Amino acid sequence: MSSVIETIETLLVDLPTIRPHKLSMTTMACQTMVIVRMRHSDGVEGLGEGTTIGGLAYGPESPESIKRNIDTYLAPLLIGQPSNNINVLRARMNHHARGNAIAKSALETALLDAQGKRLGLSVAELLGGTCHSRLPVLWTLASGNTDKDIDEALLRLEQRSHCDFKLKIGANPVDQDVRHVAAIKEALGDRASVRVDVNQAWDESTAVRGIQALQDAGIALIEQAIPAREQAGLIRLSQRFEVPMLADEAVQDARDGLDLVCGGFSGAFALKIAKSGGLQGALELAHLAKAAGVGLYGGTLLEGSIGTAASLHAWATLPEMAWGTEMFGPLLLKDDIVAEPLNYHEFGVDLPQGAGLGIILDEDKLAHYARK
């Protein structure tokens, strides 16, 4: 008799960040993760994580809504169902529940983790096998202070932890942001590439002016300069400038990717398991991008070690990610809830080893940081 899903527990876990993390829509000093513990009748436990940025400042799902919607709507769809047919369970959730991509991603991660443990295979092996055992990781400079960002970047280079940097801009007037970015690029020179993430803060006319200045300053990539729903504008920007555009919020899944490609978009797509409803949805987008000649970038919603490990297992199955990854979420946190942290070194991170995600909880740390 096959194993069935017996219980699904969700926990809100609050972890402080090592410094304020300033984005165009909010400044974070704490990250809240929704941790999923899915227990099965064969004794296997699968772990998952659903994480977003700044409550509701970033998108339509908050940590509290992720937990409530799993507990109330999604978990009842899964409890009592056979554990091993993940495709059927994904289809069941998508049929009965609209949206809620982050919540679904957390549950799919837990299903894959459990199945990997059950079969003695890593999640990457379940997805077809690894092309890479370690992945490059950039660092996001988001203190909002030019001198602090330069010092932080130089320290990361000296420590050989990161050699590519992304700057969060958009909260200030465009000319001020451009001066900030240009000064950092000038200070780093050829030692590091510098990209920017505008987090949808500009309108198209402002973006034209800002992107031209950033291109002149030697910036390598421009992420989501205008609002997500303005796909036609993003396509125009990608065709107007030499510096590539990175679509993030504008490309949630393969359908969005198809619309952009058919419209004439060129540049790159940011993959995120959270926005695509899980690992398999993100890989569907990746395969479409590869067929269309669009570059790939492994994105994050600043997940902790569980969500980051899940993403790494997905990215490791892809032959090429032209723009690397930003899977630095655990490094932004002052502490962790896992027994063995991910291994960051030499400008990248190792893929966790072992069955499933290769992640074991630190029960004491989890109890300490879980919201009461």
Q: What is the mean pLDDT of the chain?
A: 97
Active-site residue identified among 49, 61, 223, 326: 326
Per-residue pLDDT averaged across 184-212, rounded?
A: 97
Strand 245-247's sheet: what is its strand order?
139-141, 164-168, 193-197, 222-223, 245-247, 267-271, 295-298
CA distances from 185 to 28, 153, 291 (A): 24, 10, 33
Residue 157 clears pLDDT 80, i.e. is over it: yes
Residue whose tokens read 């952009």: 260
Residue-range domains of the chain with CATH: 5-121+363-369 (3.30.390.10), 126-350 (3.20.20.120)
Give the pLDDT of residue 371.
Answer: 98
User: Catalytic: 67?
Assistant: no
115 SS3 class: helix
Nearest Cα neighbor of 66 from 307, 350, 249 is 307
Separation CA 115–CA 18 (nearest Å): 34
* pLDDT greater than 90 at residue 76: yes
Distance from the Cα of residue 15 to its chain's centroid: 17
Q: What is the pLDDT of residues 223-278, one digit of tens each?
A: 999 999 999 999 999 999 999 999 999 999 999 999 999 999 999 999 999 999 99
- Whether pLDDT at 24 is above 80: no
Maximum alpha-carbon separation in the chain: 65
> Is 35 in contact with 11 (CB distance < 8 Å)?
yes
pLDDT value of residue 57: 87
Q: What is the Cα–Cα distance from 101 to 77, expressed in whole angstroms? A: 15
Known active-site residue 168: yes
How far is Cα 63 from Cα 52, in angstroms, rounded to an integer?
A: 7
Instruction: Say which of 168, 185, 272, 275 is annotated catalytic.
Output: 168
DSSP-assigned letter for residue 353: P
**pLDDT tens per residue across span 266-289:** 999 999 999 999 999 999 999 999
pLDDT tens for each residue of 130-147? 999 999 999 999 888 999
Does 1 score more than 80 pLDDT? no
